[in-house]
Amino acid sequence: MRRAGGSRAIRIAAIMAAVILVLLVVAQIVLPRVAASRISSRVGRYGHVQHVSVSAFPAIELLWGDADSVQVKAGALNLAPGQAVSVLREGAGVSRIDVSASSVHVGKFALTDAVLRKRGAQVSAHAHATRAAIAASLGPGVGVRLLGSEGGRVRVAATGSLFGVGTTVTAVAESDEGQLVVHPEGFLFEGFRLTLFKDPHLHIVAVAATPNGSGYVLGMTALLR
């Protein structure tokens, strides 16, 4: 009787192990697809999503919002800066995120060939902006010309009433305690500062700009909080 009871216990344990194994295999196949569909729907609120892929092992970690990597390829997207940060925060548990979009409108700012990468809490992004798009975002009577970019700062010659001065001044765009600000150079103008971007969940580390064809490649690195 003991031998029979022991054999029955072994069979039950083997069946349970087989069932668990099957469930894990099914989860590994199904859960990434479910997660990809959910991400596609979320990003799709802001434009056209072409493809989403999700990688996680074991896939069961997706139930807790964690994943190894997410890749998103999109067409045209239109969203506010705060909405972009909100989408990033939803992926806080993802180790690697790669997003590319053919065009992005962030408020009034039009960008093309945009790429965003997240590695842990570190975020980096770059995109192309034409001179015409930059002029349109600044408004009439205001112009900028790139002078240089190094050390996480961008120097430009700003013309117009950007700082309440109707002349051309040298201005610097840089991070100030996690905020993206622009201010004129020079002792008399250092008190003038404009905040271009501020969000408690994204700490700007550095910005960059390089000439490229009809415009510039703009870059940014930041930390997600």
**Element housing 25 (H / E):** helix 2-43
Q: Is the pLDDT of residue 4 over 80?
A: no
Question: What is the strand order of the sheet 94-106 is part of?
Answer: 47-55, 67-79, 94-106, 109-119, 122-130, 215-224, 202-212
Per-residue tokens: 150: 């190094």
Structure-model confidence comparison of residues 12 and 41, the more confident one: 41
pTM value is 0.80
Q: Is the pLDDT of residue 217 over 70?
A: yes
**Are 56 and 96 a contacting pair, CB within 8 Å?**
no
Structure-model confidence comparison of residues 128 and 142, the more confident one: 128
Which of 68-72, 73-77, 113-117, 134-138 is predicted with the least confidence, judged by mean pLDDT? 134-138
Helix/strand/coil (H/E/C) assignment for every residue in 30-53 = HHHHHHHHHHHHHHHHHEEEEEEE
- Please write the tens of the pLDDT for every residue from 31-64: 677 778 888 888 999 999 999 998 887 776 766 6
CB neighbourhood size of 48 (10 A): 13
- Tell me how far the alpha carbon of residue 29 is from its chain's centroid: 27
Helix/strand/coil (H/E/C) assignment for every residue in 71-134 = EEEEEEEEECHHHHHHHHHHCCCEEEEEEEEEEEEECCEEEEEEEEEEECCEEEEEEEEEHHHH
CB neighbourhood size of 19 (10 A): 10
pLDDT the model gives residue 23 = 53
